[in-house]
Amino acid sequence: MTRPDDVETLVAGARDGSARAVARLISLVEDRSALLREVSAALAPTAGRAHVVGLTGSPGVGKSTSTSALVSRLREVGRTVGVLAVDPTSPFTGGALLGDRIRMQDHATDAGVYIRSMASRGHLGGLSTSAPQALRVFDAAGCDIVLVETVGVGQSEVEIAGIADTTLVLLAPGMGDGIQAAKAGILEIGDIFCINKADRDGAESTRRELRSVLAMSAGRDGWKPPIAMTVATTGDGLDALVEQIDAHRAHLRDSGGLQRRRLSGARREIEALAVAAVQERLAHVSGHADLESLAEQVLAGTNDPFAAADALVAGLERHDTQDNEVAVTDVTRGTQ
Ligand code: GDP
């Protein structure tokens, strides 16, 4: 039996297509486990293989149904698919969330589909650091494409766009979504707009409205976002949607946009991890004593917050130096 914490075996298992190994690795990166760094290092060589497609849109617009319909289409043409359902508002994860997602059970027995959910609240660096790690697990498993879908209500659209190569914005007729989209700044992040529930009244007018709003926006990476019309419940329009996703990927690759997006994603991820690490050290190193006395000084007007922050950071550096000196002394003693 595989030891659950043997990273090398797990990564080899993921490469061989073991769904269990994939699930276990995602749990490890999600739980901030002690093995996180080891897992991260083991996954680095295969990172970046899959095309990452983010699905965003208001609750009820059909994200879950569309994800499932997309999986079906992609499987028909033999592509290996990962699905990452992210709940940015919940600290809970796993079975409960997936258990609700009945439609995904159509794919549960398909060896070419990996489905995982993850929560991100309360995690080191949040969604911007936990999701990329999970994506690397799908890369290791050889996924051609990964669909990242948010569940629950949250302000996560922009974060999803930050980790996706292609961002799909879903709208539905009759929800006043065209106007809402313009307000929510969703127009800037959409690479493809998808009017789902196109079987409903008002689909055509929603498209007209969206088209006129989009005509005024510049688009990213020299790409004019197309509008797809779909009925996720029947699969109508899904072939065209897959073609548009592929066309966007080809455009990104040829224009250098893919490299640019991924570089800025990696920058954000590293920064988020670094900031989280500094926060942890501040809490650990300065203890509460420094911060407490600085807070009292600021409150008493004997210090200002900027100078206090400088003092806190300087305290951190001083502590690092002391740590090093201790380490050097230990080594010296060891060799005597
Ligand atoms: P989510 O909250 O965005 O994930 O939305 P769901 O995928 O759960 O869909 C919400 C509801 O809309 C469900 O009852 C679906 O069956 C229904 N639905 C999804 N897509 C379509 C569609 O294209 N046409 C119609 N008529 N209903 C749809």
In tens, the pLDDT along 77-132 reads: 999 999 998 875 555 544 444 444 545 667 777 888 988 887 765 555 567 677 88
Whether 236 is in the pocket of ligand 1, judged by its Cβ within 6 Å, is: no
* Residue 29 to residue 37: CA distance in whole angstroms: 9
Q: How far is the CA of 199 from the centre of ligand 1 (A)?
A: 11
Q: Distance of CA 336 to CAs 322, 331, 333, Å?
A: 21, 9, 5
- 272-298 residue pLDDT tens: 888 888 887 877 765 667 888 899 999
Q: How far is the CA of 61 from the centre of ligand 1 (A)?
A: 6
E-strand ranges in the chain read 51-56, 81-87, 113-119, 145-150, 166-171, 192-195, 227-229
- What lies within 8 Å, CB to CB, of 138 at 6+ separation is 22, 50, 82, 84, 114, 146
Whether 59 is in the pocket of ligand 1, judged by its Cβ within 6 Å, is: yes
Q: How far is the CA of 202 from the centre of ligand 1 (A)?
A: 16
Q: How far is the CA of 186 from the centre of ligand 1 (A)?
A: 20
Q: Assess contact for 169 and 245: CB atoms under 8 A.
A: no
What's the pLDDT score for residue 152? 55
For the chain, how big is the Rg over CA atoms in Å?
A: 23
Whether 175 is in the pocket of ligand 1, judged by its Cβ within 6 Å, is: no
What's the pLDDT score for residue 279? 81
- 223-274 residue pLDDT tens: 999 999 999 999 999 999 999 999 999 999 999 999 999 998 899 889 888 8
Strands 166-171 and 51-56: parallel
- What lies within 8 Å, CB to CB, of 35 at 6+ separation is 5, 7, 28
Q: Assess contact for 85 and 101: CB atoms under 8 A.
A: yes
Q: Distance of CA 4 to CAs 24, 27, 136, 163, 224, Å?
A: 8, 11, 19, 28, 47
* Residue 249 to residue 166: CA distance in whole angstroms: 7
Q: How far is the CA of 101 from the centre of ligand 1 (A)?
A: 12
Whether 233 is in the pocket of ligand 1, judged by its Cβ within 6 Å, is: yes
- The larger pLDDT score, comparing residue 142 to residue 221, is at 142
Asked whether residue 326 carries a pLDDT value surpassing 70, the answer given is: no
| H-run or E-run covering 1 | none
Residue nearest to atom 10 of ligand 1 (CA): 60
Residue nearest to atom 27 of ligand 1 (CA): 197
Query: Which atom of ligand 1 is nearest to 232's Cα?
Result: 23
* Residue 7 to residue 41: CA distance in whole angstroms: 10
DSSP of 32-77: T-TTHHHHHHHHGGGTT-SEEEEEE--TTSSHHHHHHHHHHHHHHT
Average pLDDT, rounded, for the chain: 82
Encoding tokens for residue 62?
Answer: 């059909």
What's the pLDDT score for residue 274? 87
Mean of the pLDDT values across residues 3-12? Answer: 82
- What lies within 8 Å, CB to CB, of 242 at 6+ separation is 70, 73, 74, 77
Percent of the chain with pLDDT over 70: 78
Whether 61 is in the pocket of ligand 1, judged by its Cβ within 6 Å, is: yes
C-alpha 119, offset from chain centre: 11
The SS3 of residue 145 is: strand
* Residue 263 to residue 246: CA distance in whole angstroms: 21
Unique residue bearing structure tokens 């609240």: 121
Residue nearest to atom 9 of ligand 1 (CA): 62
* Residue 243 to residue 121: CA distance in whole angstroms: 34
Residue type, 37: R
Q: How far is the CA of 65 from the centre of ligand 1 (A)?
A: 6
Burial 100-120 (b: 16+ CB within 10 A, else e): ebeebeebeeeebbbbbbbbb
Q: How far is the CA of 63 from the centre of ligand 1 (A)?
A: 7
